[in-house]
Amino acid sequence: MGSQIRSTDDTVDSRVLFVGTPKVDLAAICTESAADAVSVDVVADGQAALKQLTAASETPDEHQLPELVLLQLDFSLPDGQTVLQAIRASPRLEQLPVVVLDPDDSDNTQIYQAEGNAYVPLPQTPAGYTECIGSILRFWFEWARYPATCLYPDG
């Protein structure tokens, strides 16, 4: 599995799975950027991510699913597109929100066709990375709201 990064607050309100190799200290970003306590689990490759997500979906009493996946596309096999397709193909994971960070800012059509929730160009500097991840966390956990009733037939 990957490394576990927790905010300084002991009560974790939100869980994030970061798939890739961050260029910054995600613990510091989470502590500074989110009003609520955020736990970030970092896995460096797609296979580890799929293994962790599958375990969480099959044994929710032992492993918790994240509320958000940040998927960096420049990491080892399986690639980010494969991870995203596997998440969307799983009945237990298909509703999991996925924000894709892509170093190739030329074509995001495939990401949306594969049902990624958002596409963000991968920042090139540590400062840009910090600002980008912080903005995503603030948006997702402070601003975004879900309907009071479930819109999905099986939910």
pLDDT tens-digit map of 5-57 = 333 344 457 889 999 888 787 767 766 655 567 788 889 888 999 999 999 98
Nearest alpha carbon to residue 152 among 86, 95, 85: 95
Find out whether 84 and 100 touch, Cβ atoms under 8 Å.
yes
Residue 140, pLDDT above cutoff 50: yes
Residue 149 pLDDT = 60
Q: Distance between CA atoms of 10 and 66, rounded to whole angstroms?
A: 17
Residue 2, pLDDT above cutoff 50: no
State the chain's mean pLDDT as an integer: 79
Residue 3, pLDDT above cutoff 70: no
Instruction: Give the global pTM.
Output: 0.80
Dihedrals φ, ψ of 75, to 5°?
Answer: -145, 175
Residue 70 pLDDT = 93
Q: What is the pLDDT of residues 89-128, one digit of tens each?
A: 999 999 999 999 887 776 788 888 889 999 999 888 888 8
Dihedrals φ, ψ of 36, to 5°?
Answer: -95, 160
Number of neighbours of residue 71 by Cβ within 10 angstroms: 24
Nearest alpha carbon to residue 2 among 31, 32, 44: 44
Q: Is 105 exposed, middle or buried (0-12, 13-18, 19+ CB in 10 A)?
A: exposed
Residue 148 pLDDT = 61
The larger pLDDT score, comparing residue 132 to residue 150, is at 132
92: left (phi over 0), alpha (psi -120 to 50) or beta: alpha
Nearest alpha carbon to residue 25 among 12, 7, 37, 10: 7
